[in-house]
Amino acid sequence: MTYTSSVRAAGSQVWVALGDTGGVYAEAAEALRAETDRSAGARVEWRIAPYAQFRAADPAPRAAVAIGSSALRGLLDLYPEGPPFPVLALLVPRLAYERMHEGANRGGMLSAIYLDQPPARQIELIRQVLPGVRRIGALTGADSRLAVPGLERATSERGIQFLHAQVGDAGLFPALQQLLGESDVLLALADTSVFNSQTVAGILTAAYRRQIPLIGFSPAYVKAGALAAVYSTPAQIGLRGGELLRLVLTGQRLPPPQWPREFSVSVNSNVARSFGLTLDEGRLTEQLRQKERGQ
């Protein structure tokens, strides 16, 4: 899958390694290419393919974009000494990225736009949705535990208590029961050991019975019964990726890894109604943006 743009400059080949052939990756890749092609002055020779098709023996590109954790892992694994070209990771959770690279920038040669949202944005959403909230609870697993300090910081800045319960050997439910008994709202954190397709229904049901809303982290959660979620779409991330890639193509260094700049808010209006709330996705998004600009 090789795209060649009309503006072709020598040595301006860009690899786009896809984590999978799934729609979200292609969507991000398409947004990336569109943004790059729109603004770059030079021709870019695109090589967009599943990461497994790329070989170390292939002529090194001008830059590479890894979309998805597996693509990043695959690309990094091609070069034990590190890729000899700048690599930008997209759609990678912060935790996963940090685990792979210990958070280093490698001299502007490696960077990422995280998939997850900054804690402040999530807490701010909760404040927008539920203005009177005092205590925010979160179930944590082995992975998501690492997100706790950031969240605690974000809540304490806003005078909100952050409670978290670790899911242990006794199972999920006791921790959930405990948390539900103390929290005003439950914040779901991306951690497959806690939140997965098998557990979400139970968690939502339990929360609902306690009349405690759940704030998710993806549109799927909103659809499943979460009150609201803030997230960045692949297109939004791809577009931001295009902006960063343009820097590389113009000879600049990659900026450090960063949270996605653009985001969306989804609201489950049925759930909102059952909690006596009237929420508007567009307004919430706008309020959050203004809030972030104002900071």
Residues in contact with other proteins by CB under 8 A are 19-25, 68, 70, 91, 93, 115-116, 143, 171, 173, 177, 190-192, 195-202, 204-206, 216-218, 220-221, 223-225, 231
Torsion, Cα of 52, 58, 60, 63 (10° steps): -30
Residue 45 half-sphere exposure, CB side, CA atoms within 13 Å? 10
Residue among 5 and 264 whose Cβ is closer to other proteins: 264
Residue among 166 and 290 whose Cβ is closer to other proteins: 166
What is the closest distance, in whole angstroms, from the C-beta atom of residue 22 to other proteins in the complex? Answer: 3
Residue among 74 and 86 whose Cβ is closer to other proteins: 74
Nearest-10 crossing angle of helices 148-157, 119-129: 50
What is the closest distance, in whole angstroms, from the C-beta atom of residue 143 to other proteins in the complex? Answer: 8
What is the closest distance, in whole angstroms, from the C-beta atom of residue 109 to other proteins in the complex? Answer: 25
What is the closest distance, in whole angstroms, from the C-beta atom of residue 189 to other proteins in the complex? Answer: 10
Between the CA of residue 139 and those of 16, 46, 145, 176, 281, what are the distances in Å?
35, 42, 9, 7, 25
Residue among 61 and 225 whose Cβ is closer to other proteins: 225
What is the closest distance, in whole angstroms, from the C-beta atom of residue 206 to other proteins in the complex? Answer: 6
Beta-bridged to residue 173, according to DSSP, are none
Residue 256 carries which side chain, given as an amino acid letter? Answer: P
Helices marked H in 158-199: 172-180
Residue among 196 and 290 whose Cβ is closer to other proteins: 196
What is the closest distance, in whole angstroms, from the C-beta atom of residue 201 to other proteins in the complex? Answer: 5
Nearest-10 crossing angle of helices 23-39, 234-249: 40
What is the closest distance, in whole angstroms, from the C-beta atom of residue 205 to other proteins in the complex? Answer: 5
Between the CA of residue 61 and those of 21, 51, 88, 222, 239, what are the distances in Å?
21, 14, 13, 40, 20
Burial of 148 (0-12, 13-18, 19+ CB in 10 A): middle
Residue among 52 and 201 whose Cβ is closer to other proteins: 201
Number of DSSP helices (H) and strands (E) in the chain, helices first: 11, 12
Residue among 143 and 281 whose Cβ is closer to other proteins: 143
